[in-house]
Amino acid sequence: MQGTPDITLIGGGIMGLLSARELALAGLTVTVLERQKIGREASWAGGGIMLPLYPWRQDASITTLVNASLTLYPALTETLHGATGIDPEYLTSGLLITENPDYQAAQQWCQRNHTPVESAPESLLSRLNGPFDHPLWLPDIAQLRNPLFIKALTADLHAKKVTLIEDCVLQGVRCKNNRITVLTTSQGALPVNHLALTTGAWSGKLWQTLWPSAGPTTLKVQPLKGQMLIFDAPPGLLAPMILAGDRYLIPRKDGKILAGSTVEKMGFDKTTTTPAKAALTDFALNLLPDLKPWPITHHWAGLRPGSPNGIPIIGLHPTINNLSINCGHGRSGLIMAPASARLLTDLICQRTPIVDPNPYQLNAQTL
Ligand SMILES: Cc1cc2nc3c(=O)[nH]c(=O)nc-3n(C[C@H](O)[C@H](O)[C@H](O)COP(=O)(O)OP(=O)(O)OC[C@H]3O[C@@H](n4cnc5c(N)ncnc54)[C@H](O)[C@@H]3O)c2cc1C
C-alpha cells in the first residue's frame, strides 16, 4: 500500500465495493480490507431480486433507497459490462407474486412508485400450483446476477486503482481526541485517515470488539441466515421470477433456477441443513412441477445483515470524527446498494445527499 489512503473501508461485500467505487469516482484514494476473499459472503449468496419482498409492508425509507438505486442500476451495470467485459446480467424478467392478501396496499404502492402492475397472465398461472390470492404481475421488476456483478465490480475497482486487501481482519482501533488514528489488523497496524465500516452481518459483533466499553449500547446488527438451492434447468423453462409467500424462484439467463430462501437466527453458523434443503425442494417442485426432472446442483447459505425494521444504517458517527458506516441492509441489500454507497459518499464528501439521510443515521434506535 502506498501512503495512507483517504478512506479505509472494512468489508469487501457489495456495500464495501460500491462505496469504494463511489469514493474513488469522487477523487479519493481508497483501500478495502476484507477478512477473507472479496465478495464471498451475503453479497455472493443473495438472489438478486431488484425489489424488496412486499415493499408495501416495509418502512418508507426502504422504498426511498430502492427507488434511488433503480435509477442508477441500468447505467451502472451497463458501464461495468462495457469496462470489464463481464455482464452482471441485469435483466428485466418480471415478478409474479402469487398471494396478495393486502392487494389494495400493493396496488397503491405500485401506483405511488410508478411500478407497472398487471393481472397475472393465465399462461403462467396454468403452469404453477397455487394457492393464488389476487396474483400480481409486475413486468418491470429486474434481477441481478450478483456473483457476476461482484466480479465486474472488482475488476473495475482494480482498474480504478482501489487497493483491495484480502485475508485481513480488522481487530481493533486506537483513538485520540475523538479520532481513530491506527487500525490493528491481522496483517499489522495501519494508519488511517477515515474509517468506513461495511462489514455486513458482522457489524454488531465488530462494534463490540472495537468499543467494548460501550456495553449494552452497541450497534443493532445481527446475522440472519438464508439458505438457497439451484436447479440445473434448461433455458426457457421459466422466464419470470415467482414470489410465493416468503419463498421464491429466480430463473437465470442460462436457465438455472434458484429456489430461496430460509430466514434463520443461528448466529454466525453458515452450515446448510437437510431439513432446509427438503423444504426448499418441496416448495420449488410443488410450485413449478416442470422442475422435477432437473437436478439440484448446489445448496448454500449466507448471512444477511439484519437491522431493526430492516432499515440500513448509513452515516457519519456522531462523535468519532473520522468514522462512518454503511450496513444493516437485511434481505434487500443488493437492491439498495447503489444509493446506499452514493449516500455514504455524499456524507463523507459533504455533497448534497442523494436522499434524505435522516432515517438511516446512527441514533438511539440503532446504537
Ligand atoms: C439467501 C439470501 C438471499 C438474498 N436475496 C436478496 C435479493 O434477492 N435481493 C436483495 O436486494 N438482497 C438479497 N439478499 C441480501 C443481500 O445479499 C445483503 O443485504 C447484502 O449482500 C449485504 O451486503 P454487505 O456488503 O453489507 O454484506 P456482505 O456481503 O456480507 O459483506 C460484508 C463483508 O465484510 C467482511 N468483514 C466482516 N468483518 C470484517 C472484519 N473485522 N475485517 C475485515 N472484513 C470483515 C465479511 O467477510 C464480508 O465479506 C439476500 C441475502 C441472502 C443471504
The residue whose C-alpha atom lies closest to atom 41 belonging to ligand 1 is 170
Distance 361 CA to ligand 1 centre (A): 20
Whole-number Å distance between alpha carbons of 151 and 118: 35
Range scoring the smallest mean pLDDT among 67-71, 119-123, 163-167? 119-123
pLDDT band at 119 (very low <50, low <70, confident <90, very high): confident
Q: How far apart are the two ends of the chain, measured CA to CA in Å?
A: 33
Q: Can you tell me which atom of ligand 1 is nearest the CA of 329? A: 19
- Quote the pLDDT of residue 363: 74
More confident: 367 or 278: 278
Distance 35 CA to ligand 1 centre (A): 13
- Quote the pLDDT of residue 130: 87
C-alpha cell recorded at residue 12: 469487501
Q: Can you tell me which atom of ligand 1 is nearest the CA of 225? A: 53
- Quote the pLDDT of residue 218: 74
pLDDT digits (tens, 9 = 90+) for 302-349: 999 999 889 999 999 998 999 999 999 999 999 999 999 999 999 999
Average pLDDT over residues 261-290: 98
pLDDT band at 366 (very low <50, low <70, confident <90, very high): low
C-alpha cell recorded at residue 323: 468514522
Name, in order, each residue with C-beta under 8 angstroms of 304's C-beta and a sequence gap of 6 or more: 42, 46, 200, 201, 223, 224, 225, 226, 263, 329, 330, 331, 333
Whole-number Å distance between alpha carbons of 12 and 111: 36
pLDDT band at 367 (very low <50, low <70, confident <90, very high): low
Name, in order, each residue with C-beta under 8 angstroms of 303's C-beta and a sequence gap of 6 or more: 41, 42, 45, 200, 201, 223, 224, 225, 226, 268, 270
Look over the chain and give the mean of its residue pLDDT values, rounded to a whole number: 96
Q: Can you tell me which atom of ligand 1 is nearest the CA of 16? A: 25
Distance 198 CA to ligand 1 centre (A): 9
The answer, yes or no, to whether residue 240 has pLDDT greater than 90, is: yes
Whole-number Å distance between alpha carbons of 78 and 336: 18
Give the pTM. 0.97
- Quote the pLDDT of residue 362: 87
Distance 19 CA to ligand 1 centre (A): 14
pLDDT digits (tens, 9 = 90+) for 277-311: 999 999 999 999 999 999 999 999 999 999 988 99
Instruction: For residue 198, give Cα distances in angstroms to 108, 109, 122, 168, 238.
Output: 34, 30, 44, 14, 35
Q: Can you tell me which atom of ligand 1 is nearest the CA of 248? A: 8
Distance 92 CA to ligand 1 centre (A): 23
CATH code given to domain 83-141+224-304: 3.30.9.10
Report the alpha-carbon angle 232-252-100, nearest 5: 110
DSSP string, 200-264: GGGHHHHHHHH-GGGTT-----EEEEEEEEEE-PPTTS--SEEEETTEEEEE-TTS-EEEE---B
The residue whose C-alpha atom lies closest to atom 25 belonging to ligand 1 is 13
Q: Can you tell me which atom of ligand 1 is nearest the CA of 303? A: 53
Average pLDDT over residues 85-111: 97
Domain boundaries of the chain, sorted by first residue: 7-46+150-221+309-360, 83-141+224-304
Average pLDDT over residues 56-84: 98
Average pLDDT over residues 228-235: 98
pLDDT band at 214 (very low <50, low <70, confident <90, very high): low
Name, in order, each residue with C-beta under 8 angstroms of 79's C-beta and a sequence gap of 6 or more: none
The residue whose C-alpha atom lies closest to atom 31 belonging to ligand 1 is 13
The answer, yes or no, to whether residue 364 has pLDDT greater than 80, is: no
The residue whose C-alpha atom lies closest to atom 52 belonging to ligand 1 is 46
- Quote the pLDDT of residue 164: 98
Query: Residues lining ligand 1, CB < 6 A?
Result: 10-16, 33-36, 41-43, 45-49, 169-170, 198-202, 206, 226, 228, 260-261, 302, 304-305, 327, 329-335
Average pLDDT over residues 54-83: 98
Distance 201 CA to ligand 1 centre (A): 7
Whole-number Å distance between alpha carbons of 296 and 220: 36
pLDDT digits (tens, 9 = 90+) for 153-166: 999 999 999 999 99
Structurally, what CATH architecture does the domain formed by 7-46+150-221+309-360 represent? 3-Layer(bba) Sandwich (3.50)
pLDDT digits (tens, 9 = 90+) for 144-196: 999 999 999 999 999 999 999 999 999 999 999 999 999 999 999 999 999 99
Ligand 1 pocket mutation pick from 50, 63, 202 by most atoms within 8 angstroms of CB: 202
Other CB atoms closer than 10 Å to residue 102's CB: what's the count?
15
Q: Is 83-141+224-304 the same fold as 7-46+150-221+309-360?
A: no
- Quote the pLDDT of residue 213: 73
Ligand 1 pocket mutation pick from 8, 18, 32, 34 by most atoms within 8 angstroms of CB: 34
pLDDT digits (tens, 9 = 90+) for 34-55: 999 999 999 999 999 999 999 9
Distance 225 CA to ligand 1 centre (A): 11
